[in-house]
Chains A and B, each alone.
Chain A
Amino acid sequence: MVIEESPVLEVEGLVVRRGRFRLQIRRLELFQGEILAVVGPNGSGKTTLLMSLGLLLKPEEGRVKLCGKLTSGLATPLELRRKVVMVFQKPLLLNGTVLENVSLGLRLRGIRGKRSDEQALVALEKLGIAHLKRRHVKGLSGGEAQRVSLARALAVEPEVLLLDEPFSSLDPPSKDRLLEDLDRLLHATGTTAIMTTHDRLDAMSICDKVAVMCEGEILQMGPTSEVVHRPLHPFVAEFLDLRKTKERLTGLLASKG
């Protein structure tokens, strides 16, 4: 028996213009619980795509459907718009304590006081920074701030979570740790997520699907293993090619013993 599942996120004929840049997505589908990585070089339109999916941009042409319903950028009814949360590259925390920041989304939705504090605390615990709850945001390290930003988004339990290069400002050890935690977290809660990154390794390690972008278009999108082993486009092949990395790593390990 085949259960017809409708995609959580559906894009058709999307065209977004931003200055001279033009984003064009013919078709994109994302189902419940999938984690999609959008990779590509800088300037390929990853952030623009994410903002369109985050309903922060209204497309010139085409449609974005969330949970089966048509959207229209910021004019989308609040109820629907609140189902998708985007986390930006920089933590962008507001003046105040960690707890105040993390509970922001909840307070915006009318949940206040003890209830919001409790829910915020749950999110903090998921990201392992519950001990920072009373700390003022000015005293946080880069990694800690990024986790606060993520906790803030997770606290409202969105249907779709969009992460714009979440690891770019982190040092490698912090990144590895966060990567692991996110992996676990997203799969545990079954959250549908899209993550942009220019590091293909990140993408491939935790994402089920990957889309490779170049100059405003998606060159190929599909299950990670498929795209990696059967690239349909030379650019895709080159971008996802890990042979050089493997050679370097092997060489490094050999020389250092």
Chain B
Amino acid sequence: MNKRGGVKGNLKRALLDMAPERELPLSHLLPSLTGRSAKRGHRMRPLSRLIWPLLALLISAWPYVSSGDRVPPKQDVILATTTSTQDSGLLDVLLPVFQKSTGVLVKTIAVGSGQALALGARGEVDVLLVHSPREELKFMEAGFGARRRLVMYNDFVLAGPKGDPAGVRDARSVEEAFRKVADGGFLFISRGDLSGTHVLETELWKKANVNPHGNRWYQESGQGMGQTLLIASEKGAYTLSDRGTYLALASKLALEICFQGAEELRNIYHVIEVNCSRFDRVNCQGARLLADFLVSREAQRMIRDFGVDRFGTPLFFPAATEQEK
């Protein structure tokens, strides 16, 4: 808190310096107010009046007092991952186990893959758990990442309005499926946020030789997967989604899976440790510990079992032992 006081205190002093006592027409009638520091806690105030501010201070200080396992910032690891990964709930299962065994606090921020990579490229985060392979390779080539390892995979599905008006189901390839949507001018909602999902979607449009931009049927939500699915459901549109988020929301959606299973729809997750020789504030040790944990047998087992009880099928497939394709 002192640091803040310092910055603002200087501002305060600057303000006071800005207004010296001058002999302006009315100014010599007005008291000059300097030395505000004595404003509070004045002996004239009866004790009862102090109760409210004291109470307020107490309430605001409580969490600091109550939490026992606070780790000093140096040991925190900042993990940037995607909203879909976090929303799946997988990390809520994995991270506590990690934290208990290593004592390292993981701060997870859920942003799009695009933002995660951008943050990593600035050294603002320590570890990335993302699923945007092409961008990841660029990232590694630029030297921002120290190590990149495969963690797990699942797949994307093309969801659409019940009844599949575009007849996407009959497509023989992903490109054909996309072309059917475009040719028929069926509403398509894109993430539009440079997330892993969005980047894949862009690649698929390219493969299908279609430029969807500028068309009335192509809309960008700029939001997370869950939101985008809900929008698609509301509007009766098609959208590309990871299976996990789709399953989690299925009961609330008026959509159905129209196309799935193609090779291109594979969704591969890697863990990248940010290059600490490049940025001096990155927590190397913590990053390595976390990355090692994610590919460890224990974690991989948890990944394999995750979601089975809720959805009947696992949401992710452990892949740490598999080779890169």
Contact, chains A and B (beta carbon distance below 8 A) = yes
Measured CB to CB, the residues of A under 8 A from B are 17-19, 51, 56-58, 60, 73-74, 107-108
Q: Nearest B residue to A18 by beta-carbon distance?
A: B25
Q: Does B28 contact A (CB under 8 A)?
A: yes
Q: Which residue of A lies closest to B29 (CB)?
A: A57
Query: With a CB–CB cut-off of 8 A, which chain A residues contact B31?
Result: 74
Contact of A19 among B25, B32, B44 (CB under 8 A): B25
Is B141 engaged at the interface, CB distance under 8 Å to the other chain? no
Instruction: Please report the C-alpha to C-alpha distance between residue A108 and residue B43 in the assembled complex, in whole angstroms.
Output: 10
Complex CA distance for A51 and B29, rounded to whole angstroms:
9
14 further contact pairs, Cβ within 8 A, besides A19-B26, A58-B28, A73-B28: A17-B25, A18-B25, A18-B26, A18-B29, A19-B25, A51-B29, A56-B29, A57-B28, A57-B29, A60-B23, A74-B31, A74-B32, A107-B44, A108-B44
Instruction: Give the A-binding residues of B (Cβ under 8 A).
Output: 23, 25-26, 28-29, 31-32, 44
14 contacts between A and B (CB under 8 A): A17-B25, A18-B25, A18-B26, A18-B29, A19-B25, A19-B26, A51-B29, A57-B28, A57-B29, A60-B23, A73-B28, A74-B31, A74-B32, A108-B44
Min CB distance B49 to A, Å, is 14
Q: Name the A residues within 8 Å of B28 (CB-CB).
A: 57-58, 73
A57: B residues at CB distance < 8 A? 28-29
- Sorted nearest first, the 3 A-B pairs with minimum C-beta distance are A19-B25, A58-B28, A57-B28
Residue of B nearest to A19 (CB): B25
Contacting residues, chain A, for B26 (C-beta < 8 A): 18-19
Residue of B nearest to A110 (CB): B43
**Which residues on B sit within 8 Å (CB–CB) of A17?**
25
CA A57 to CA B21, docked complex, whole Å: 13
Q: Which residue of chain A lies nearest to B25 when distances are taken between CB atoms in the complex?
A: A19
Residues of A close to B44: CB separation below 8 A = 107-108
Q: Would you give the shortest CB distance from A60 to chain B, in whole angstroms?
A: 7
Tell me the complex Cα distance, A73–B21, Å: 13
